[in-house]
């Protein structure tokens, strides 16, 4: 079954009608669901949001979620489920989408590394491979073509000497890995060879990346996460609009009284978020009662278990109506109100009025889960919508939070034995506990703060647990590498302002700048230790950590920020250049993670490790092959270190800056002003980042509000790349 039918048209979020949304979802995602009931048509727009077609992107993200979930359900029957995700292909659909086909075709061709549009035959070659015996061990994938001919294959557990030599009991572990595969078996070397043969063939030739209190409206706020978010934002100084279904009016009124008792205003606006008139009225009622709308938290959602074969079209429609259509309607009418207010973004002043739309995605909107095909598809749609809601020019940021297993009524009502289920999900986290609604509220509070003013189009995951205690009876200690200038300096000053004693590191040749920064921090009443070191040298890193602990008493937060960058394409990169880049950016990160973790484990009260990734570590950038590889390595190291260190109460996360105006940036271009203008155009928010933008994210990751976040890499890039 090749489920290829689909429709496409351009429309921004503000110009998309509910009817447009429904038609796009009906064919592109609901139609895919019905056909699956097994190769499906996703799209490059289902991997990375793009301005001007939110409904299309959401529908194609839904296809990816559906594909991943159904693959797990149907694997035991020997059925593989994959999707192909074409880029710009020269078809009537493309031609009919533009007023000037020639100009638009040239534009899209230039956006491809291969310098041409794809052809239908390019895509057909991939489908032919997926339908062949060579793809018999490939399932739950969403594959290009994107116009790239540099590829990698990423095998799972393959029955090779390397696998058997990795375990004391190869047979037992082979059975475990086989059970972890939807297809119920280990791969063979021939499975992998089939993919490599395809990638080397002609069929793969196009496969190759306000002066009053601000007002926040929270949907689904009668209980659980919505209630916690409402209370947290009220505590942070917001007046609150409360929404849920009319049948929950009593709970809403009770929560409103609790908020008013704390000195804030509250407006109660019952509504069904799947109904367009109801959502429009909800926004109008909140604005009439409270005067404006500055933050929309679209939290309402529904969930139930059902595998693909047992899911009726009615079940599918209901899930999509609330979880994806409802999100679209809340985004749309909140955005219309914010645009009409005309305040143009965030006010960096004592009275801070943000403009923020925040949606509830889910861990199931990042990875398909067995038994949740409709739910996963609906939450993948939220991811696509969040990335493509084209509101940056109005100063409106759009992000989503993606919780894991949180101890809420929705979770407990989903199982016949809630206690057993809770224990099972707790064991699935590195640090052994369920999340709380307050964990989620902490992230939402960060996303509406001034510290998140350059973060948009992000899906922020909370799916790992920690019980960290920063510091003991003294002030906590943070060590920042590469701290004499730019981002590192801003992080050191911010954490000192947040109450940390600070360890400062950079190369010994920058000692004067380190000492000057140390004096600035000491003038603010904090202790400082200066520890010059080369992070690529193991003995040097070990000594750096020891020196900071000897001077300040402990190590609670390690910010591994040091890094190097220069432009060089692959052909002009020498082995020496490669080695130097990896030595500092990836080996140095490993050493800092390792020796910080050893110290934190010995202290016995957990800790935070935070590393510097990059936008180039999430999406390869032309002319930076060695740098991108080193930063992709940071993302992988961060994810695995989080699992290794979770049992010790240590969280491990990374920040991935876009183009930030620092000495590293200005030194990378012959004309920094021209470069700045070019890179500004690549952001949704229309400006370069500042070191303080990044420092705000790091401060959040080091705070108690990030206590249930680990293994994540968060973008802070002004919407340059949405993840």
Hey, which bits of 554-629 come out as E strands?
A: 557-560, 607-612
Cβ–Cβ under 8 Å, residues 673 and 469 = no
Q: Residue 582: phi, psi to the nearest 5?
A: -70, -35
How open is the CA angle 302-304-308, to the nearest 5 degrees? 120
Q: Is 631 a catalytic residue?
A: yes
| Contacting residues for 413 by C-beta, under 8 A, at least 6 apart | none
Q: Containing H/E element for 94?
A: helix 92-95
In whole angstroms, how large is the CA radius of gyration of the chain? 25
- Is residue 254 part of the annotated active site? The answer reads no
Exactly one of 56, 84, 375, 627 is catalytic; which is it? 627
Cβ neighbours of residue 434 under 8 Å, at least 6 residues apart? Answer: 405, 406, 407, 411, 422, 425, 426, 465
Q: Which two tokens stand for residue 667?
A: 């030194």
- HSE-CB for 217 with a 13 A CA cutoff: 36
Instruction: State how far Cα 534 lies from the chain centre.
Output: 31
- Of 265, 333, 631, 648, the active-site residue reads 631
Question: Helix, strand, or coil here: 41?
Answer: strand
Which residues touch 291 (CB under 8 Å, ≥6 apart)?
212, 215
Residue 295 — φ and ψ, nearest 5°? -135, 130
DSSP 610: E
411 DSSP 8-state letter:
H
Question: Is the Cβ–Cβ distance between 695 and 493 less than 8 Å?
Answer: yes
Q: What is the largest CA-CA distance in the chain?
A: 69
Beta strands in 204-312 (DSSP E): 215-218, 239-242, 266-268, 295-298
In terms of Cα–Cα distance, which of 449, 466, 541, 529 is closest to 496? 529
**Residue that is written with structure tokens 């942070």 in the block:** 236
Half-sphere exposure of 219 (CA within 13 A, CB side): 30
Of 6, 545, 447, nearest in space to 232 by CA: 447
Q: Answer yes or no: are the C-beta atoms of 341 and 26 closer than 8 Å.
A: no
Q: Are 637 and 711 in contact (CB under 8 A)?
A: no
What positions carry a catalytic annotation? 627, 631
């Amino acid at each position: 079954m090749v489920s290829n039918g689909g429709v496409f048209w351009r429309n921004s979020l503000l110009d998309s009608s509910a009817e447009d949304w429904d038609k796009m979802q009906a064919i592109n995602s609901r139609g895919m669901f019905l056909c699956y009931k097994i190769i499906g048509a996703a799209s490059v727009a289902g991997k990375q949001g793009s301005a001007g077609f939110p409904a299309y992107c959401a529908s194609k993200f839904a296809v990816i979620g559906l594909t991943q979930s159904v693959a797990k359900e149907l694997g035991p029957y020997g059925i593989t489920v994959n999707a192909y995700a074409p880029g710009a292909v020269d078809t009537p659909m493309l031609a009919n989408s533009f007023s000037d086909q020639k100009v638009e075709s040239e534009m899209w061709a230039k956006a491809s590394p291969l310098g041409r549009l794809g052809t239908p035959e390019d895509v057909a070659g991939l489908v032919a491979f997926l339908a062949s015996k060579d793809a018999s061990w490939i399932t739950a994938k969403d594959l290009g073509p994107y116009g790239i001919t540099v590829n990698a294959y990423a095998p799972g557990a393959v029955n090779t000497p390397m696998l058997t030599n990795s375990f004391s009991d190869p047979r037992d572990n082979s059975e475990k890995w086989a059970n972890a595969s939807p297809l119920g078996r280990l791969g063979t070397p021939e499975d992998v060879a089939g993919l490599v043969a395809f990638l080397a063939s002609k069929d793969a030739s196009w496969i190759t990346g306000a002066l009053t209190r601000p007002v926040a409206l929270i949907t689904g706020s009668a209980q659980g996460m919505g209630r916690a978010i409402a209370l947290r934002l009220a505590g942070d100084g917001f007046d609150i609009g409360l929404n849920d279904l009319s049948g929950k009016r009593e709970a809403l009124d009770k929560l409103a009284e609790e908020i008013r008792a704390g000195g804030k205003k509250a407006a109660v606006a019952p509504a069904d978020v799947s109904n367009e008139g109801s959502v429009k009225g909800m926004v109008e009622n909140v604005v009439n009662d409270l005067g404006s709308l500055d933050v929309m938290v679209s939290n309402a959602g529904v969930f139930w278990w059902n595998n693909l074969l047992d899911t009726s079209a009615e079940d599918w429609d209901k899930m999509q109506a609330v979880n994806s259509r409802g999100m679209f309607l809340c985004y749309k009418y909140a955005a219309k109100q914010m645009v009409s207010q005309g305040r143009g973004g965030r006010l960096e002043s004592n009275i801070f009025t943000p403009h923020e739309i925040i949606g509830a995605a889910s861990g199931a909107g990042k990875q398909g889960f067995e038994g949740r095909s409709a739910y996963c598809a609906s939450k993948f749609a939220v991811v696509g919508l969040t990335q493509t809601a084209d509101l940056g020019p109005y100063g409106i940021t759009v992000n989503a939070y993606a919780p894991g297993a949180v101890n809420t009524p929705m979770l407990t009502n989903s199982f016949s034995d809630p206690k057993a289920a809770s224990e099972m999900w707790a064991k699935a986290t590195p640090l052994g506990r369920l999340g709380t609604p307050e964990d989620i509220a902490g992230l939402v509070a960060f996303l509406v703060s001034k510290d998140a003013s350059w973060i948009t189009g992000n899906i922020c995951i909370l799916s790992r647990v920690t019980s960290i205690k920063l510091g003991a009876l003294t002030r906590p200690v943070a060590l920042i590498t590469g701290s004499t200038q730019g981002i590192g300096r801003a992080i050191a000053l911010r954490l000192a302002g947040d109450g940390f004693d600070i360890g400062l590191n950079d190369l010994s040749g920058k000692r004067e700048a380190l000492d000057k920064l140390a004096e600035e921090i000491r003038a603010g009443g904090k202790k400082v230790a200066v520890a010059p070191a080369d992070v690529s040298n193991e003995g040097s890193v070990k000594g750096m950590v020891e020196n900071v602990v000897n001077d300040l008493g402990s190590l609670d937060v390690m910010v591994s920020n040091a890094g190097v960058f220069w432009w060089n394409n692959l052909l002009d990169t020498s082995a020496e250049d490669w080695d130097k880049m990896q030595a500092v950016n990836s080996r140095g990160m490993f050493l800092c993670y390792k020796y910080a973790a050893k110290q934190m484990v010995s202290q016995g009260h957990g800790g935070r490790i935070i590393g510097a990734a990059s936008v180039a570590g999430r999406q390869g950038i032309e002319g930076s092959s060695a740098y991108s590889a080193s930063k992709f390595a940071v993302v992988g190291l961060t994810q695995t270190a989080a699992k290794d260190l979770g049992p010790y109460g240590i969280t491990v996360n990374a920040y991935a800056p876009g183009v930030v105006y620092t000495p590293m940036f200005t030194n990378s271009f012959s004309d920094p002003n021209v470069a700045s203008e070019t890179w500004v155009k690549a952001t949704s928010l229309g400006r370069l980042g500042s070191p303080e933008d990044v420092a705000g994210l790091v401060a959040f990751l080091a705070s108690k509000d990030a206590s249930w976040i680990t293994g994540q890499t968060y973008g802070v890039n002004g919407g340059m790349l949405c993840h």
